[in-house]
Chain A
Amino acid sequence: MKIEMIKFGEFLISRPAGREAWLAMTAYILPKIKKDETIEVDFAGVKVLTPSWADEVVTKLKNKFDKVVLLNTDNSSVKASLKTIEEMPTQKH
């Protein structure tokens, strides 16, 4: 299953917006995915990502599913934000 982040917007900035995206995902997308299925999180088209938004979505996806693959992470803010949340101590939300 591929989840396209651009469908949540080009500017993924605030924590509340990330939380809202997670709730929408939880309602409409995640129930269709098996726990051991590979999830591709695609950042193609995203212009600005912050660690706050990413923490609300990517960290939670990684906590919930075994195989999460991040695609198209070349954008400078995407790369930097994913690095920041990777370096955080493991947290269960």
Chain B
Amino acid sequence: MSIIKEQVYNWLKSNALELMKLQNMSLVVFENRNIFQDELMRLTKYLSENKLVPEDKVWIISAIIGEIGNNSFDHNLGNWPRERGVVFGYNIEDDYLDIVIADNGLGVLKTLQQVKPELNNDKDALKIAFTKILSGRAPEARGNGLKFVKENVINNDMNLVFVSGDSRVVLNGGLKIDNIENDYQGCLAILRIKK
């Protein structure tokens, strides 16, 4: 098994399995952006054609996962500290669709430290990433992706857990940021949608 997949499975096992019924989820590593996007399109079409989720929500889910997944490639391109790529998988069970996407990259803190060196903890870095327009890829004008994710997860009654380092963001009607016991190196997101 790849290192990144093992890392994701280990984290899920110790943190989220009981909550989210992710036992049946098959996770696959997508080494580059193109194959990740092909898989995202395949999932989007599957959800839409089988009417598993209302169509309006399908397009938003795809945009949310697209933003999170592309962030992994945008911010680690040419600079992956460990394994390249993202792990991506989903599970449809009972009333819920769960989607997991994770990388083994720099993480939010190290990325934002490149433009805001005074940042010194994961919690503050996550707060900035989800609430302020600031990108680690200066001088490019960007940095709106996770604000889009936050707004649309909340507006569409979805639930998102986003972990980086020793902190996590929980979007569930509002935004909560706290520290966690088990660190995650890189970024890991679990999106839950009620069907």
Binds B, one of A33-41, A64-72, A76-84: A76-84
**A47: chain B residues within 8 A (beta carbon):** 44, 48, 59, 62
For chain B residues 138-195, which have a beta carbon within 8 Å of chain A?
A: 141-142, 144-145, 147-148, 151-152, 155
- In the complex, the answer to whether B41 meets A11 with C-beta atoms within 8 Å is yes
**Residue-by-residue, is A55-67 near B (CB-CB < 8 Å gives 1, otherwise 0)?**
1000000000000
- Give the B interface residue count (CB, 8 A): 27
Q: Are B70 and A14 in contact (CB under 8 A)?
A: yes
Indicate if the CB atoms of A84 and B66 lie closer than 8 Å. no
Tell me if A48 and B63 are in contact (CB < 8 A): yes
B144 touches A16 (CB 8 A): no
Q: Kindly state the separation between the CA atoms of A47 and B60 in the bound complex, as whole angstroms.
A: 9
Residues of the B chain whose Cβ atoms lie less than 8 Å from the Cβ of A78: 59
Contact A15 B70 (CB under 8 A): yes
User: How many residues in A have their beta carbons less than 8 Å from beta carbons of B?
Assistant: 26
Q: Are A84 and B151 in contact (CB under 8 A)?
A: yes
Contact B60 A55 (CB under 8 A): no
Residues of A within 8 A of B57 (CB): 76
In the complex, the chain B residue whose C-beta lies closest to that of A46 is B59
- Closest CB of chain A to B99's CB: distance in Å? 14
Residues in chain A within 8 A of chain B (CB atoms) = 11, 13-16, 47-52, 55, 75-78, 80-81, 84-85, 87-89, 91-93
Q: Report 21 cross-chain contacts, Cβ distance below 8 Å, ordered by A residue.
A: A11-B37, A11-B62, A13-B62, A13-B70, A14-B66, A16-B33, A47-B44, A50-B66, A50-B148, A51-B144, A52-B70, A52-B142, A76-B56, A77-B59, A78-B59, A80-B151, A80-B155, A84-B151, A88-B144, A89-B133, A92-B141
Given A11-B41, A80-B155, 16 more A-B residue pairs with CB atoms under 8 Å apart are A13-B40, A13-B62, A13-B66, A14-B33, A14-B37, A47-B48, A47-B62, A48-B44, A52-B74, A52-B142, A55-B142, A75-B59, A76-B57, A76-B59, A84-B151, A88-B141
